[in-house]
């Protein structure tokens, strides 16, 4: 099976669905392939209080369902499946879905997002969304005047800890080394923040907590000392994993220009990539903000650029 479309959107989430809304309203008739995680990372976030339009907060899955339904209402052709091959060497672009169906696209918007790196311990999965998070900006407000731990030692971890220190009563930084990798100015701020305490040479072994019915609550963190293998427990209410994120760009290696972290490079604050006619939106090209609202905004920009590109090329 092969079909020709004006615009193919690869990936869903706030960026992809918003791109679909704008492209549909421009009468471009976009096709959107949702990928492995329809709705993106927000679908594993239970409570969202900082997305505009939801004054009382909402669950991440509900927000994404609303945006998806809006994209459908505008006319976006949303399909389940995975784009498994792309050829951006010439226009129109050739993309293959689920290794079988071929889509020839005049333009492409890549919105495959990024995935948080996790500790990969069993208890982390159990309490994810119930006291375990990978985004302090998203979830920090739920821990006001409480005690939390940040796992990591790079710029992200130090920045998360400083942000949380302004909200929480106590913040532990748990780091596997005896020095930070983060920027010196961030280190200086951490060391001069009285409610931050660093646990050096420690590895998280287990996230402790309680479960009553469907309610789960983090109560502590079991640590292993790298030097003498001793164990210790810190009592706390939440754990923030800040060991980095991985952009979902494996499919585009050799097709688009990526930075040293694997993010798609875009030009001068636009969604334009190294290939004319291919645009990138959302966390797949954003290593700095990584918020649902910024992803949605970049999806809007990508769709507008698609419309302009098609007009310029008489398509």
Rounded to an integer, the average pLDDT of 59-83 is 95
Annotated active-site residue 168? The verdict is no
Tens of pLDDT, residue by residue over 230-255, are: 999 999 999 999 998 889 999 999 99
Cβ–Cβ under 8 Å, residues 231 and 208: no
Domain ranges of the chain: 2-115+246-312, 118-241
The DSSP letter of residue 136 is H
pLDDT band at residue 46, thresholds of 50, 70 and 90?
A: low
Annotated active-site residue 139? The verdict is yes
Q: Is the pLDDT of residue 44 over 70?
A: no
Among residues 7, 95, 135, 300, the one annotated as catalytic is: 135
Q: Among 85, 14, 61, 5, which Cα is nearest to 286's?
A: 14
Among residues 139, 237, 283, 286, the one annotated as catalytic is: 139
Query: In CATH terms, is domain 118-241 a member of 3.50.50.60?
Result: yes
Among residues 7, 95, 138, 300, the one annotated as catalytic is: 138
Q: Tell me whether domains 2-115+246-312 and 118-241 share a fold.
A: yes
**What is the CATH number assigned to the segment(s) 2-115+246-312?**
3.50.50.60
Rounded Cα–Cα distance for residues 61 and 49 (Å) = 13
Average pLDDT for the chain: 94
In this prediction the pTM is 0.76
Contacts (Cβ under 8 Å, ≥6 apart) of 220:
207, 208, 209, 233, 234, 235, 236
Annotated active-site residue 138? The verdict is yes
């Amino acid at each position: 099976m092969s079909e020709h479309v004006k615009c193919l959107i690869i990936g869903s989430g706030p960026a992809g669905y918003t791109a679909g809304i704008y492209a549909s309203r421009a009468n471009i008739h976009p096709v959107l392939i949702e990928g492995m995680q329809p709705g993106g990372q927000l679908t594993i976030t239970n409570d969202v209080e900082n997305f505009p339009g939801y004054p009382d907060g909402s669950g991440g899955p509900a927000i994404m369902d609303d945006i998806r339904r809006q994209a459908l209402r505008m006319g976006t052709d949303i399909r389940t499946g995975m784009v498994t091959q792309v050829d951006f060497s010439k226009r129109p672009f050739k993309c293959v879905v689920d290794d079988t169906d071929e889509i020839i696209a005049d333009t492409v918007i890549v919105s495959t997002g990024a995935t948080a790196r996790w500790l990969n311990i069993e208890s982390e999965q159990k309490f994810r969304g119930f006291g375990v998070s990978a985004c302090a900006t998203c979830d920090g407000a739920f821990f006001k005047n409480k005690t939390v731990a940040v796992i990591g030692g790079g710029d992200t971890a130090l920045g998360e800890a400083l942000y949380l220190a302004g909200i929480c009563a106590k913040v532990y930084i748990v780091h596997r080394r005896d020095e930070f990798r983060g920027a010196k100015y961030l280190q200086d701020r951490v060391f001069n923040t009285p409610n931050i305490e660093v646990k050096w040479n420690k590895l998280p072994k287990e996230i402790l907590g309680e479960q009553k019915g469907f309610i789960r609550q983090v109560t502590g963190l079991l640590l292993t000392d790298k030097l003498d293998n001793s164990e210790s427990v810190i009592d706390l209410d939440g754990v923030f994993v800040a060991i980095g994120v991985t952009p979902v760009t494996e499919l585009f290696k050799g097709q688009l220009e990526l930075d040293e972290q694997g993010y798609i490079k875009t030009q001068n604050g636009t969604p334009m990539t190294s290939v004319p006619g291919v645009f990138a939106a959302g966390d797949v090209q954003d290593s700095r903000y990584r918020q649902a609202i910024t992803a949605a905004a970049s999806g809007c920009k990508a769709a507008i650029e698609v419309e302009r590109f098609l007009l310029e090329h008489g398509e």
